[in-house]
Amino acid sequence: MSNAQLFKRFGLLVWPYRWYLLPAVVCMLVLAASEGAMAYLVKPILDKVFIEQNRAMYLSMPLIVILVFFVRGVANFFESYLMQLIGHKLARGIQVRLYGHLLTLELGYFLPYTTGSFISRIINDTFQLKAAATNVLTGIVNEGFTLIALVIVLFVQDWELALMALIGLPASAYLIYLFGRRMRRLSRRSQEMSEQVVTHLEETFSGLRVIKSFTMEKFEQAGFRHLTKKLLRNYLRTSVVNALSKPLINLITGVVVSGVILFGGDRVMDGQMTTGAFFSFLTALVMAYAPVRALITLNNTLQQGLAAAIRIFEVLDTKPRIADAPEARELPPFSREIRLEGVSFRYAPGLPEVLQGIDLVIRAGERVALVGRSGSGKTTLVNLIPRFFEVTGGSIRIDGVDIRQVRMKSLRRQMAMVTQETILFNDSVQNNIAYGWSREPQEVIERAAGAAQALDFIRELPEGFATRVGDRGIRLSGGQRQRLSIARSLLKDAPILILDEATSSLDSESELAVQQALDALMVGRTSLVIAHRLSTIRGADRIVVLKEGRIVEEGDHETLMAKKGEYSRLYSIQFREQAPARERIAEPPREGVGSRVSEGEDR
């Protein structure tokens, strides 16, 4: 993206706040005029008050100076407040837009990235862009107009001397260009390193149990030290660039001021220039190089902001690959069948196909189980039905309608999912159950909790339904979290149910309670069940066996066992593995749904 395109898009971000910016610019003009006025007043103070000893001027000058500083103070207050207001509104607007856009992107977009990378863009990059917007806009307008006002004073006092004095500006402009290029590269690198630090922190705090169980605290600490050391080195390089710019500008200023003293002093001694005019000129010249120094610093800030803007625009420019078709329509209530015809899928171009030529019909009210080894494509298949991912070949039809031709909201409204990894939000029990259905009456929510075998433990919580569950439901047991997830699906009351390893990570007692809740959930619904523990799906209407992304067998338990094929082999292996455990606990296998395979492994 070229600089012109970046500045244009940067301007479009600020444009909605133009009615705040306009009075702020007026205040900046007043500030710039006051700088010029202070430099100009040096001449009458010296010539009229001290040399000519004009008493009227002597009495009026203090009042004029007070007035200038008063006006300057008022303008400074409103300019500062308005620019901070613009900055905060701009940052919030970008964060809301980024967050909203990320939610529109398909799941496949997130697979190559870490959670920390998106947090870094929403928080850190937005902060950098906000700093660039407020500081740079303020600085460019304020310092720019101040420089213009002071240059006008220079030409008013002595235009020939002014031309000589401004010889240092081209050199200063070239320095601004050089430092800006270097600063943008360093800023981009710093933001990428900050992203790595945020990712490391996010992984550390979400995986504390694993870190402690493997006593890897020192290892993780060493990793964090290494990342922050790399970031520190880059920050120090940035500091060198910032620190080097000021003395170079000061050197240019010193050379120019020396020349002015030499030639200006000669003009004063020849009577071509008054002492007051010379000191007014010298004051304006010294003051003029302050904005130049400020512009170099502002350019560094601008380059940091532009580097952040590039990363933000990379996300905002990403188009959702899975979106409603222009002529998409509402999906009518599900009534007949889900049909997969020649479905193939790969996660990215060039990668091997995870599913190949899947032909499957799931009839309304049917309970279909998907079984197979880890990596056979079970979870991938069920993720295609709600269009979390898009098929790369074939089609999926619901009641004869291709799911790519219907609105995704109407498609997903008719599906409920219960997965191995229970997702709860740091909110109350009630809000987690009623997620997406917050207007449901309390009795309906309690009825769903009761059907999910969750009502008893909810009532025992300190604040009942108002109890907050903590980050990812950390204050609840695994079984309690899963039952809340089931209650959420019950409240949704969708006709199509997808169960993905819903009891795999639970102990025996929790599994029994959850399985009873799942049985209640599946009543009257079309259910697609992923299972690794084959004893739990013997009662399914149909069992579909996947191997290396293909359907190799299909039928009920008895039929598949009689075939002596892949299902029979998997069942026999699992039976032999589980027999010693059953003997130890002296407990017959329960009917239900469960697995030890995670969604990530299944892919």
Q: Report residue 256 as tokens.
A: 């120019």
Domains in the chain: boundaries: 3-316, 337-602
421 contacts 489 by C-beta, under 8 angstroms: no
pLDDT tens digit string along 136-146? 778 778 777 87
The predicted structure's pLDDT at residue 339: 94
From residue 198, alpha-carbon distances to 46, 189, 193, 236, 307 in Å are 59, 14, 9, 20, 18
- Spatial distance between the Cα atoms of 8 and 22, rounded to a whole number of angstroms: 18
| Helical (H) or strand (E) element with 507 | none
Q: Quick check: helix, strand or coil at residue 394?
A: strand
Ranges in the chain, pLDDT < 70? 1-3, 52, 168-169, 171-173, 175-177, 179-180, 184, 206-210, 212-214, 242, 245-246, 249-250, 253, 296, 300, 502-511, 513-514, 575-603
Q: Is 584 exposed, middle or buried (0-12, 13-18, 19+ CB in 10 A)?
A: exposed
Q: Quick check: helix, strand or coil at residue 339?
A: strand
CATH of domain 337-602: 3.40.50.300
pTM score, two decimals?
0.71
Backbone angles phi, psi at 329, to 5 degrees: -125, 170
pLDDT tens digit string along 516-566? 777 777 888 898 988 777 777 877 889 999 988 999 999 988 888 888 888
What stretches of 346-428 adopt beta strand conformation (E)?
355-363, 367-371, 393-398, 401-402, 415-419
As a dihedral over the C-alpha atoms of residue 125, residue 129, residue 132, residue 138, rounded to 10 degrees, the angle is -150
The predicted structure's pLDDT at residue 509: 59
341 contacts 397 by C-beta, under 8 angstroms: yes
Of 303, 297, 320, 252, nearest in space to 106 by CA: 320
The maximal CA–CA distance of the chain, rounded, in angstroms, is 120
Q: Report residue 402 as tokens.
A: 């291709």
Cβ atoms within 10 Å, residue 47: 18
Distance of CA 419 to the CA centre of its chain: 25
Q: Quick check: helix, strand or coil at residue 489?
A: helix
Which are the contacts of 230, defined by CB distance < 8 A and separation ≥ 6?
193
The predicted structure's pLDDT at residue 146: 79
Which are the contacts of 516, defined by CB distance < 8 A and separation ≥ 6?
453
The predicted structure's pLDDT at residue 594: 34
- Spatial distance between the Cα atoms of 518 and 501, rounded to a whole number of angstroms: 12
- Spatial distance between the Cα atoms of 7 and 302, rounded to a whole number of angstroms: 10
The predicted structure's pLDDT at residue 449: 86
- Spatial distance between the Cα atoms of 169 and 28, rounded to a whole number of angstroms: 22
- Spatial distance between the Cα atoms of 527 and 286, rounded to a whole number of angstroms: 80
The predicted structure's pLDDT at residue 233: 86
43 contacts 279 by C-beta, under 8 angstroms: yes
The DSSP call for residue 136 is I
Of 442, 345, 336, 331, nearest in space to 395 by CA: 345
Of 183, 180, 189, nearest in space to 234 by CA: 189
The predicted structure's pLDDT at residue 446: 87
Backbone angles phi, psi at 530, to 5 degrees: -95, 130
Of 146, 149, 17, nearest in space to 83 by CA: 17
Q: Quick check: helix, strand or coil at residue 535?
A: helix
420 contacts 501 by C-beta, under 8 angstroms: yes
The DSSP call for residue 438 is T
What stretches of 75-190 adopt beta strand conformation (E)?
none
- Spatial distance between the Cα atoms of 340 and 344, rounded to a whole number of angstroms: 10
Of 285, 284, 280, nearest in space to 268 by CA: 280
At residue 225's C-alpha, the angle toward residues 130 and 202, to 5°, is 55
CATH of domain 3-316: 1.20.1560.10
